[in-house]
């Protein structure tokens, strides 16, 4: 069974969906706490203490002004008390600065650790997922959005912490304001809400724009890579592709820029109009406070406190609404992150999974195996049945798209059949522990990886447990005829390969292929699968590799995919695949004598050498 291909989701377009996205905040906060409980606790404590500093300074300032006015007016007052209050205000200011710096330090340290924590979790989860997930464009778009937005979660964490601090400060200021007149707070909120709603609407539209443009932005990234990469530089220059790639990227960029500019202009115009309301609300309340002060019902200290508290409250409410709008927007991106974490692999080990048999006794058997990719009705394999006996070497041939690589991926249980079953020693592959099964199989695909890492890592990745086993790595290199390549490198097994990092050496395609073959031999597996293993080798190197391959697989099972008949004729049995089915099978001599499809393809290739 395969997980259903996820339907392409439309971006959220309603407040209901947006508020629903806030449900992602609790799991985010749990992840923050898991990152570092001491740092998270320190951040909360420092911000809570810092929240009371602004209202305390305002209140002390009110007391100072009232006592100064009383002294100037000739009323009895203790001038020493004024200096004492000033000392308190200075101490509060110093404490506020220290708390702010402590909070910033905690934010920075926690943010760095959180980014690393999320990135590592994404890597760990990606390693668990099925290969089919990475071949699904909808899933890949989700992964790309989650990956792009990981670092932006840092700003969101700071915003959430700041909101908590602002709420406490606002509550303290509001208590003082309400003591004088509850209407002040009502005016503040009524003036700010329209601006908040307007800004929230445009934040939603901005997310929708980014959501819709995820595939195009990936295309832009790919075009940038093609236009400035050592991998593509030769063909780009030879075929003169530079102007075409630049023009294609420019058209995409200009389309995105045009949409983004139109949205930004509308957002700026709407924000300008709606922000007049908070300004009018503030000055209406300010006029009323001034009127009451002139009438004698409020002191000058009250005037100072109220105008300061009102201004700060207005700013805090605007910041809170703005922060809430941003958090709601960021929560939409969190949905992508947690959707990614919620994706579960279908190819998993059962609770009572069996270890892979060692040694394999009766081999593999494909029984009426059918396979199609999720979301597609086209069968890549259709009713495939055959056996692979212990010690037997089989070759798979057929035109591109015949199902050869898919078949070996099923053998390695990178996929499960859509119908039918694959047995190993009479037991369905799904009954075995996945990781243990794969440890028994060594595979080198045609599109093998070229790791921009050191030589010993490129080979040792075939068996990570022996990554530091120099003797085993050297032995694997010798089996693949890669030793002479490595001996010519300045750093030999410690040499960095590729151009990505300083001191790296680039290899030829044939040299890379020998390194990849060494990685397969490193595994010392019971089953060796080679998918076009000599495509980049010259005739002499190919001959040497297959002589060695013949020796190394004498007592093992081997599956070989190749278009070269000089290669496949060494197999004990050859399977000819066509349209996902086994059309013919037998030895080279048997198939040539049969005069069927194999014989036809063999004659066509042989004619090219006459």
Q: How far is CA 498 from CA 455, 512, 528, in A?
A: 10, 10, 27
Same domain assignment for residues 34 and 127? yes
Pair 392, 573: CB distance under 8 Å = yes
Distance CA 24, CA 9 (A): 18
**Any idea which residue has 């045009």 for tokens?**
258
Same domain assignment for residues 88 and 215? yes
Cis before 166 (ω within 30): no
Inside any domain, residue 360: no
Query: For the chain, how many helices (H) and strands (E)?
Result: 24, 10
List the beta bridge partners of residue 413.
none
Distance CA 91, CA 89 (A): 5
Instruction: Report the alpha-carbon angle 140-144-148, nearest 5.
Output: 175
The distance from CA 179 to its chain's CA centroid, rounded to whole angstroms, is 51
Instruction: Report the alpha-carbon angle 478-479-480, nearest 5.
Output: 90
Inside any domain, residue 433: no
Distance CA 451, CA 459 (A): 10
Distance CA 233, CA 465 (A): 37
Same domain assignment for residues 287 and 397? no
Pair 576, 398: CB distance under 8 Å = yes
Which residue spans within 481-580 are E strands per DSSP?
527-531, 557-561, 573-578
Query: What local confidence, expressed as pLDDT, does residue 196 receive?
Result: 66
Same domain assignment for residues 396 and 314? no
Task: Kindly state the tokens that stand for 100.
Answer: 């702010």
Q: Would you tell me how many other CB atoms lie within 10 Å of the CB of residue 139?
A: 21
Pair 451, 497: CB distance under 8 Å = yes
- The count of domains in the chain is 2
Inside any domain, residue 317: yes
Distance CA 511, CA 488 (A): 11
Inside any domain, residue 362: no
Inside any domain, residue 407: no
Pair 365, 529: CB distance under 8 Å = no
Inside any domain, residue 369: no
Domain that holds residue 494: 392-402+438-607
pTM higher than 0.95: no
Distance CA 120, CA 114 (A): 10
CATH code for position 275: 1.20.1560.10
Same domain assignment for residues 153 and 287? yes
Same domain assignment for residues 331 and 398? no
CATH code for position 484: 3.40.50.300
Cα dihedral across residues 181, 183, 186, 191: positive or negative: negative
Helix, strand or coil for residue 412?
coil
Inside any domain, residue 308: yes
Same domain assignment for residues 27 and 171? yes
Pair 148, 122: CB distance under 8 Å = no
Query: What local confidence, expressed as pLDDT, does residue 6 receive?
Result: 38
Inside any domain, residue 530: yes
| Nearest Cα to Cα of residue 135 among 431, 380, 459, 483 | 380
Among candidate residues 301, 318, 342, the one where a domain is terminated:
342
Same domain assignment for residues 332 and 445? no
Residue partners of 189: CB distance under 8 A and separation at least 6: 317
pLDDT in tens, 419-428: 999 999 999 9
Radius of gyration (C-alpha) of the chain in whole angstroms: 35
Query: What local confidence, expressed as pLDDT, does residue 78 receive?
Result: 66
| pLDDT < 70 stretches in the chain | 1-19, 72, 74-79, 145, 148-155, 184-185, 188-189, 191-214, 228-241, 271-278, 281-282, 318, 322, 325, 329, 332-333, 533-549, 552, 606-610
| 573-578, strands of its sheet edge to edge | 441-444, 527-531, 557-561, 393-397, 573-578, 581-586
User: Phi then psi for 350, rounded to 5 degrees?
Assistant: -75, 170
Q: Would you tell me how many other CB atoms lie within 10 Å of the CB of residue 189?
A: 15
Same domain assignment for residues 184 and 286? yes
Task: Kindly state the tokens that stand for 449.
Answer: 């990886």
Same domain assignment for residues 60 and 202? yes
Q: What is the 3-state secondary structure (H, E, C) of 45-61?
A: HHHHHHHCHHHHHHHHH
pLDDT in tens, 497-529: 888 778 888 888 778 888 888 888 887 788 888
Query: What local confidence, expressed as pLDDT, does residue 526 receive?
Result: 86
Same domain assignment for residues 396 and 305? no
Q: How far is CA 38 from CA 3, 161, 163, 209, 384, in A?
A: 40, 15, 20, 39, 58
Query: What local confidence, expressed as pLDDT, does residue 424 receive?
Result: 92
Pair 60, 134: CB distance under 8 Å = no
Query: What local confidence, expressed as pLDDT, does residue 3 receive?
Result: 38
Distance CA 200, CA 324 (A): 9
Same domain assignment for residues 319 and 397? no
Among candidate residues 304, 320, 342, the one where a domain is terminated:
342
């Amino acid at each position: 069974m395969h997980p259903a291909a996820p339907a392409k989701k439309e971006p959220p377009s309603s407040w209901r969906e947006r508020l629903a996205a806030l449900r992602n905040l609790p799991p985010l906060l749990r992840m923050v706490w898991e990152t570092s409980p001491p740092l998270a606790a320190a951040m909360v404590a420092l911000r809570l203490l810092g929240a009371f500093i602004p209202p305390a300074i305002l209140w002390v300032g009110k007391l100072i002004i009232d006592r100064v006015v009383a002294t100037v007016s000739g009323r009895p007052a203790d001038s020493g008390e004024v200096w004492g209050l000033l000392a308190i205000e200075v101490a509060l200011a110093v404490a506020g600065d220290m708390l702010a710096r402590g909070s910033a330090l905690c934010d920075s340290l926690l943010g760095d650790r959180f980014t690393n924590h999320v990135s590592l979790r994404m890597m760990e989860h990606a390693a668990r997922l099925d290969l089919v997930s990475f071949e699904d464009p909808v899933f890949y778009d989700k992964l790309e959005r989650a990956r792009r937005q990981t670092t932006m979660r840092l700003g969101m964490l700071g915003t959430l912490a700041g909101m908590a601090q602002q709420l406490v400060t606002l509550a303290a200021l509001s208590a003082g304001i309400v003591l004088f007149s509850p209407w002040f707070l009502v005016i503040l909120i009524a003036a700010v809400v329209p601006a908040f709603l307007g800004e929230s609407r445009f934040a939603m539209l901005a997310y929708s724009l980014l959501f819709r443009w995820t595939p195009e932005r990936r295309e832009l990234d790919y075009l940038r890579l093609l236009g400035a990469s050592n991998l593509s530089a030769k063909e780009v220059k030879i075929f003169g592709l530079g102007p075409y790639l630049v023009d294609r990227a420019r058209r995409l960029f200009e389309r995105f820029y045009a949409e983004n500019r139109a949205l930004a202009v509308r957002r700026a115009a709407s924000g300008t109009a709606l922000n007049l309301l908070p300004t009018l609300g503030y000055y209406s309340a300010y006029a009323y406070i001034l009127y009451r002060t002139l009438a004698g019902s409020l002191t000058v200290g009250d005037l100072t406190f109220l105008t300061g508290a009102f201004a700060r409250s207005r700013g805090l409410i605007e910041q809170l609404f703005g922060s809430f709008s941003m958090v709601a927007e960021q929560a939409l991106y969190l949905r992508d992150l947690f959707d990614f974490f919620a994706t579960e692999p279908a190819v998993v080990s059962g609770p009572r999974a069996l270890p892979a048999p060692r040694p394999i006794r009766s081999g593999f058997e494909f029984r009426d195996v059918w396979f199609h990719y999720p979301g597609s009705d086209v069968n890549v394999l259709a009713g495939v049945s055959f056996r692979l006996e212990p010690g037997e070497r089989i070759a798979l041939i057929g035109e591109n798209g015949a199902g050869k690589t898919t078949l070996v991926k099923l053998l390695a249980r990178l996929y499960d059949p859509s119908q039918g079953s694959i047995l190993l020693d009479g037991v369905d592959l799904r009954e075995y522990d996945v990781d243990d099964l794969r440890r028994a199989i060594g595979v080198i695909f045609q599109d093998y990886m070229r790791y921009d890492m050191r030589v010993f890592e490129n080979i040792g990745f075939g068996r990570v447990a022996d990554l530091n086993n120099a003797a085993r790595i050297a032995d694997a290199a010798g089996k693949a005829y890669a030793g002479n390549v490595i001996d010519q490198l300045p750093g030999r097994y410690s040499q960095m390969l590729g151009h990505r990092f300083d001191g790296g050496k680039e290899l030829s395609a044939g040299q890379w292929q020998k390194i990849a073959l060494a990685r397969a031999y490193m595994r010392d597996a019971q089953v060796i699968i080679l998918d076009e293993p000599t495509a980049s080798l010259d005739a002499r190197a190919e001959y040497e590799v297959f002589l060695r391959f013949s020796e190394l697989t004498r007592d093992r099972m081997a599956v070989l995919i190749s278009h070269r008949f000089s290669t496949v004729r060494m197999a004990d049995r050859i399977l000819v695949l066509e349209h996902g089915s086994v059309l013919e099978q037998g030895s080279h001599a048997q198939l040539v004598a049969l005069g069927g499809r194999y014989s036809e393809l063999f004659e066509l290739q042989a004619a090219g050498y006459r």
